[in-house]
Amino acid sequence: MTEHDQAMALAVGRAMDKSAELLRAAAETGDSEAQFAFALLNLLGRGVEKNPGEAFRLFGLASDAGDEQAASFRDLAAEQLAREQIDQQRLNDAAVHVMKEAKRQQRFPKPRIVEPD
C-alpha cells in the first residue's frame, strides 16, 4: 500500500467516524432518517462497533416513525442477533463439555500401562 493509499484510508476512516457521530446525535433527537442511517452503520459496523442490538432498536424507532424500509431492516438485525446468540450458546456448550471432560479425567485418570521388565 502506498503512502497515498494509506493517507486516503485514514481520511475515509476519520470521515466515517465523524459521520457516525453526527448521525448518532441526529438519531438521538428523533430524526427517523438519522435513526435508519445510524442503525445501518451499527448493523454493518461502519464508523462504530458492530451492534445488531442497537441496530434493531433504532430500526424499530424509525419504523414506528413511519419509515417503511426500517421494518425489513429491523428483521435483518433480529436475524443477525439470533445467529450471534446461537453462536454464543454453542461456545458456551463447548466450554461446559470441555470442563466436564476435564473433571471426569481428574476423577478417573487414564490407567498407565506398565511394560514388563
Residues in the chain: 117
Report the half-sphere exposure of 109 (CA within 13 A, side-chain side). 4
24 occurs within a structural domain: yes
Which pLDDT band holds residue 19 (cuts at 50, 70, 90)? confident
Residue 84 lies in a domain: yes
Residue tagged 465523524 (cell numbers): 18
Is the confidence at residue 4, as pLDDT, over 90? Answer: no
CB 41 within 8 A of CB 48: yes
**pTM of the entire predicted model:** 0.69
Cβ atoms 86, 56 nearer than 8 A: no
The answer on pLDDT for 105 being more than 90 is no
pLDDT at 111 over 80: no
Element (H, E) at 19: helix 3-28
Grid coordinates in use for 74? 429491523
User: For residue 52, with 0-12 CB atoms within 10 Å meaning exposed, 13-18 middle and 19 or more buried, which class applies?
Assistant: buried
Residue 117: inside a domain: no
Task: Report the pLDDT value the prediction gives residue 28, as an integer from 0 to 100.
Answer: 95
pLDDT at 114 over 80: no
- The reply to whether 52 falls in a domain is yes
Crossing angle of helices 68-107/52-64, nearest 10°? 150
Residue 72 lies in a domain: yes
- Domain membership of residue 112 (yes or no) is no
- 56-76 pLDDT, tens digit per residue, is 999 999 999 999 999 999 999
Is residue 113, in this structure, part of any structural domain at all?
A: no
- Structurally, how many domains does the chain consist of? 1
List the domain range (segments joined by +) for residue 42. 3-107
Q: Is residue 36 part of a domain?
A: yes
Residue 74's contacts (CB-CB under 8 Å, 6 or more residues apart) are 56, 59, 60, 63
Residue 29 is part of a domain; what is its CATH number? Answer: 1.25.40
